[in-house]
Amino acid sequence: MRLDLRDIIHVPDARKTFRFQLDLSGQDFYGSKPIVRPVDIQGSVTNHAGALVLEGTARSVLELACDRCGKPFSLEKLVVLDSLVAQTQDLDIVTIADTDSIRLYHVVHERIGLHFVGDDQGRVLKGEAYFSDAVGTMGLQRRFFHPVQEEDGTVIGFVIASATMDSIRELRSSITQMYAKLAAVLLLAALLLSWSMTLFLQKMLLAPRSWSAPTSPSTKCSITSARASSPWIPRGISNW
């Protein structure tokens, strides 16, 4: 089953429910095939402020044998799928797996039921959430692991959200181009501001100015007295 989320990706609080059955009867687990009944998977995907949250359950009945006496018995298995928050526009892969690292969900549905690839899931099975770089079925990826736990803290599986390195390089390139354009705009604005300030200062410094000598009576008297007493000032000049 492939979920089409295009009608809720850009609609806040939009919700899409799903339900399907997965046949894992042919999957071998350490020499036995205990999942003889279809796995019933149901849940919903909700858009919370642009993030998609997956909630649901995977339920089936396992046919097992006692390790002590070898007597067969049935065990109902329920896996709760929650705490998965994904920014879908930045992610390439979302995978859900059980504690045996068997994929219960994968974006490529042909890989559901197969063993998880990468061998970097050891820490999440101990209850730790972390980032990791590893090579998976879709190439080198940057991954984030988050455990799926019961109320008592028992790990019953894990969720992985990852982006391929090619997608990360494309995102990095687009961010670099965006900042380069922003830098170019800021540089142009700085040049225009400098040019405007230069013109303004030129107009202020080169503008013509008028200057007149002091004309107060005390100043005139001082000048006249200085001329009268100085032998260097010609007698014929009485005023400036």
CA distance 150 to 130: 19
Cβ burial of 104 (10 Å; 0-12, 13-18, 19+) is: buried
CA distance 177 to 139: 25
pLDDT band at 86 (very low <50, low <70, confident <90, very high): very low
Asked if 16 and 44 count as a contact pair (C-beta separation under 8 A), the reply is: yes
User: Please, which residues have CB within 8 angstroms of residue 24's CB and are 6 or more apart in sequence?
Assistant: 35, 38, 39, 60, 102, 113
**What are the chain's domains?**
15-165 (3.30.450.20)
Per-residue model confidence as pLDDT tens digits over 211-237? 555 555 555 555 555 555 555 555 554
Per-residue model confidence as pLDDT tens digits over 39-83? 898 888 887 656 677 888 888 888 888 888 888 888 888 887 764
pLDDT of residue 220: 52
Asked if 180 and 157 count as a contact pair (C-beta separation under 8 A), the reply is: no
pLDDT of residue 222: 53
Give the pTM.
Answer: 0.40
Q: Which phi and psi angles does 79 have, rounded to 5°?
A: -115, 125
